[in-house]
Amino acid sequence: MPSQLKILEEQGEDAVTIRLFGEVDISTAQELKERLYSVVDEKKTNLRIDCSNLDYIDSMGLGVLVGVLKRVRQGGKNIYVSNLKEGIRKLFLITSLDKLFIME
Amino acid sequence: MAERSESIELTLPFKAEYVSIARLVASGVAARIGFDMDVIDDVKVAISEVCNKLVKADSSVASSFRIRFEIEKDRLTVAFACEDKSLGRLFKEENEELGMYIVAALMDEVEYSPGDGSLFRMSKVVEGLN
């Protein structure tokens, strides 16, 4: 089956923007992890995760984001999460992850 | 909706790439019952999290597990079952895993040892229907 996740990367002035398209779940979380870790290690900058086109994320995807946040913060940077759809925003609220990331 | 209980059953292999199929079926069933979009999302997320747990654990005895959607007048109950009864160990109330925490938060009722032969059951109540 083709991957249900597409990841686009865009270099900005003060952050790399990662645009997520589709679904982050048990079958795509590893792909997201590898991609984000490589961006963080390579660019050593802030990350902005644009979720305008993210339709679904599960606890494994959220776990990946927390792991990436830890790594980003070790370098003194941060992760901005933007344009969450309502259902996904609810997950951030339930899990209190909205307090961990900078929500836009 | 249904006066008598009606059910739909889905059998899935213990494979990550099929969890999205469970979400698709969950959406269809929840929409059919008349749940709002945000409630449909809740059911989808909860089902997916339980599937994740089963797929991650896998089984040396069984090659697949079953998801039964029980449609009743005022609620949707989703039961997870498998020939491998030892998987019941995955579903404990004191579980501190993020996935099951999300399930408990999104569903109206969860049953950890259902006693009906299934591993885990959870329900969402239909609100605001005639």
Mean pLDDT for back-to-back runs of 10 residues, chain A (104 residues): 85 95 96 97 95 96 97 96 96 96 96
Q: Where are the alpha helices (DSSP H) in chain A?
A: 29-43, 59-74, 86-94
From residue B114, give the alpha-carbon distance in Å to each of A6, B7, B76.
39, 17, 15
Which residue in A4, A87, A90 is closest to B20 by CB distance? A4
- Chain A contact for B54, CB < 8 A? no
pLDDT grade, residue B92 (50/70/90)?
confident
Tokens for B40, please give them.
């449909």
Task: Provide the number of structural domains found in chain B.
Answer: 1
List of residues 6+ apart from A40 with CB closer than 8 A:
A47, A68, A71, A72, A75
Candidates A57, A73, A46, A77; CA nearest to A7 is A57
CATH label of the domain that carries residue B81: 3.30.565.10
pLDDT grade, residue B5 (50/70/90)?
confident
- d(C-alpha A64, C-alpha A56), whole Å: 14
Distance (Å) from the C-alpha of residue A2 to the closest C-alpha of chain B?
9
A100 exposed, middle or buried (CB, 10 Å; 0-12, 13-18, 19+)?
A: middle
- Domains of chain A, earliest start first: 5-103 (3.30.750.24)
Residue B24 has pLDDT above 50, yes or no: yes
The residue count of chain B comes to: 130
Q: Which amino acid, A29? A: A
From residue A91, give the alpha-carbon distance in Å to each of A17, B2, B46, B77, B86.
22, 31, 11, 21, 30
Residue B130 lies in a domain: no
Q: What is the pLDDT of residue A26?
A: 95
Residue B66 lies in a domain: yes
Range of the domain at B17: 6-125
Q: Is there a contact between A26 and B38 if contact means CB atoms under 8 Å apart?
A: no
Q: Is there a contact between B49 and A58 if contact means CB atoms under 8 Å apart?
A: yes
Kindly report the CA angle at B72 between B71 and B73, in degrees rounded to 5? 130
Residue B1 lies in a domain: no
Q: What is the pLDDT of residue B74?
A: 85
B37-77 per-position pLDDT tens digit? 999 999 999 999 999 999 999 999 999 999 999 999 889 99
Which residue in A62, A86, A90 is closest to B98 by CB distance? A62
Q: What stretch of H or E contains B67? A: strand B64-71
